[in-house]
Chain A
Amino acid sequence: MSVEDLLGRAGEWLKGTGPEGDVVVSSRVRLARNLNRFPFLTLASPAVRTEIERHVGPRLAEGKWPRPLDYWPLEKLSPLDRAFLVERHLISREHAQAEGDRGVAFSADEAVSIMVNEEDHLRLQVLRSGFQLDEAFEEIDRLDTTLEESLNFAFSPRFGYLTACPTNVGTGMRISVLLHLPAVVLAKQVDKVLQSLQRLNYVVRGLYGEGTSPLGDFYQVSNQVTLGKSERDLVGEMKRVVPEILKFERQWRRKLLEVERRRLEDRVWRAWGILRNARRMTSEEAIELLSALRLGVDLELIRGISVRTIHEMFLFIQPAHLQKLERRVLEAEERDAVRADFVRRRLEGL
């Protein structure tokens, strides 16, 4: 598998076909694991990092997994290719920018990825389209159990799986659900949602994880607590919380359709007009417009375009994707032009 292979498609989780797909873009579960016999990475020498990668990398690549994994050592990739993997949510921004031996194993459909030598020795991730927490959890749990047959993870009966940062200790599990909440934002109700989530110990972030602002009305909700609750408790709690937000967003969508249909339609069709005609476009603008278009498709205000197409555009308008498509380095201003051209071509004839 190469970057060029990935360029021709989007990950399974972006298909937009999962349950509750009108509001829930994707479900993600990740596990943090460390090997018993090595120090955590903060204190690992370059030689130790190399040893960990050599120990784990081949096992991941050669293991008999339900979805075969390809292992990519990141040191061999250019900064642009690493940024490309960040944009696909296969690795974290920190992992891309770090130094020393490290890598990522992932499945061709991008549903599974395992970062090696990130903050912890292993970071396992399973991504699913829509609201599919049980399925994502079952898959990552099986993956973890299989890995445990050949790797000794740092574990204490009292504290559970031991992680470099105590905020991840115990289950080492973080569940994240990516939500699209345009109606709640339009109705200026989003603070209410965020506050109640915070009271329940959930963390809310923007689309690109820690420290990012919520662009395009996309919010990522994750559990903060990883200790003192079982994995199934954590899944169960998230499964009770998310439907409440879903209900709230759908109520506002209906209400806005009833009382402010014209305003909604105007917003969606303006977005359509700009996306189809603009000659320059920043990522922020594109994300906001595509978000409006996605709402229009969900509310059937606009037809003949699929959520999948919109999701693919979200993916490909990002800086590294545009540069890989164009096969050259682009300055910000050039990217804005290439981005507008890409979007226009994609929507032509629809």
Chain B
Amino acid sequence: MNCQRCHKNHATYHLTAIEKGVKREAHLCEECARQAGVGLQFNFSVGDLLAPPPEEKAPKAGSVRCPQCGLTYSEFKSKGRLGCAHDYEVFRGELLRLLERVHGATAHVGKTPRTADAHVRLENELLRLKRDLESMVKSENFEKAAEIRDRIRSLEAELNR
């Protein structure tokens, strides 16, 4: 996953915050996380974290960009093709209406890959390990951190087959 702020680097910080009872997530790269002051301040808002770096212009309303591939929905409409698998979540609302029109349905009921469950499990474990790694580094437990890092690498390799 790419950083939701600069859209360039790989996101290594995965944060969850509850704001006014609504759960929000932020995925940032190391650099943006540092700029946004993650780890230094305790009261942060996800909105602040995801504000684009100062030198970049804020995106126009209604032109939501996929954080992974950078596609907007209006670009999809003119091309007719999506940019990556993640777009199905980013443009979920618009796509649900489109799918209803094209297929008369919006939910898959067919084949599920045998690896699908395992895959979801692996991704969850990966997230958990990355959080562990962060806290191990913070508490300067480098031996344990190295162990976790190796485990992350092998998990990532498995996920990226």
A and B, one complex? yes
Q: Which residues of A contact B (CB under 8 A)?
A: 34, 36-37, 39-40, 42-43, 119, 141, 144-145, 148-162, 164-167, 169-171, 173, 201, 224-231
**In angstroms, how far is the closest chain B Cβ from the Cβ of A232?**
8
Is B102 positioned at the interface, with any CB of A under 8 Å from its CB? Answer: yes
**Are A166 and B85 in contact, CB atoms less than 8 angstroms apart?**
no
With a cutoff of 8 Å between Cβ atoms, the chain B residues found around residue A156 in the complex are 85, 88-89, 108
**In angstroms, how far is the closest chain A Cβ from the Cβ of B53?**
22
**In angstroms, how far is the closest chain B Cβ from the Cβ of A221?**
18
With a cutoff of 8 Å between Cβ atoms, the chain B residues found around residue A224 in the complex are 102
**In angstroms, how far is the closest chain A Cβ from the Cβ of B64?**
16
Q: Number of B interface residues, CB 8 Å?
A: 35
With a cutoff of 8 Å between Cβ atoms, the chain B residues found around residue A231 in the complex are 110-111
Considering only CB atoms, which chain B residue lies closest to A36 in the complex?
Answer: B85
**Chain A binding surface, main DSSP class:** loop
Considering only CB atoms, which chain A residue lies closest to B95 in the complex?
Answer: A166
With a cutoff of 8 Å between Cβ atoms, the chain B residues found around residue A201 in the complex are 104
Is B161 positioned at the interface, with any CB of A under 8 Å from its CB? Answer: yes
- Can you list 10 A-B contacts with CB-CB less than 8 angstroms, sorted by A residue number? A40-B81, A40-B83, A148-B114, A156-B89, A166-B82, A166-B98, A225-B102, A227-B106, A229-B109, A230-B109
Is B26 positioned at the interface, with any CB of A under 8 Å from its CB? Answer: no
Q: Which residues of B contact A (CB under 8 A)?
A: 68-71, 79-85, 88-89, 95, 98-99, 102-116, 119, 159-161
**Are B102 and A167 in contact, CB atoms less than 8 angstroms apart?**
yes
Q: How many angstroms between the C-alpha atoms of A85 and B129 in the bound complex?
A: 48
**Are B103 and A39 in contact, CB atoms less than 8 angstroms apart?**
no
Q: How many angstroms between the C-alpha atoms of A212 and B53 in the bound complex?
A: 50
With a cutoff of 8 Å between Cβ atoms, the chain B residues found around residue A230 in the complex are 109-111
**Are A155 and B103 in contact, CB atoms less than 8 angstroms apart?**
no
**Chain B binding surface, main DSSP class:** loop
**Are B160 and A37 in contact, CB atoms less than 8 angstroms apart?**
yes
Q: How many angstroms between the C-alpha atoms of A224 and B105 in the bound complex?
A: 12
**Are A227 and B99 in contact, CB atoms less than 8 angstroms apart?**
yes
With a cutoff of 8 Å between Cβ atoms, the chain A residues found around residue B70 in the complex are 43
**Are A171 and B111 in contact, CB atoms less than 8 angstroms apart?**
yes
**Are A155 and B113 in contact, CB atoms less than 8 angstroms apart?**
yes
- A152-B83 CB under 8 A given contacts A157-B108, A158-B107, A160-B108: no
**In angstroms, how far is the closest chain A Cβ from the Cβ of B89?**
8
With a cutoff of 8 Å between Cβ atoms, the chain B residues found around residue A227 in the complex are 99, 102-103, 105-108
**Are A165 and B82 in contact, CB atoms less than 8 angstroms apart?**
yes
Q: How many angstroms between the C-alpha atoms of A341 and B68 in the bound complex?
A: 57
Q: How many angstroms between the C-alpha atoms of A141 and B111 in the bound complex?
A: 9
**Are A158 and B85 in contact, CB atoms less than 8 angstroms apart?**
no
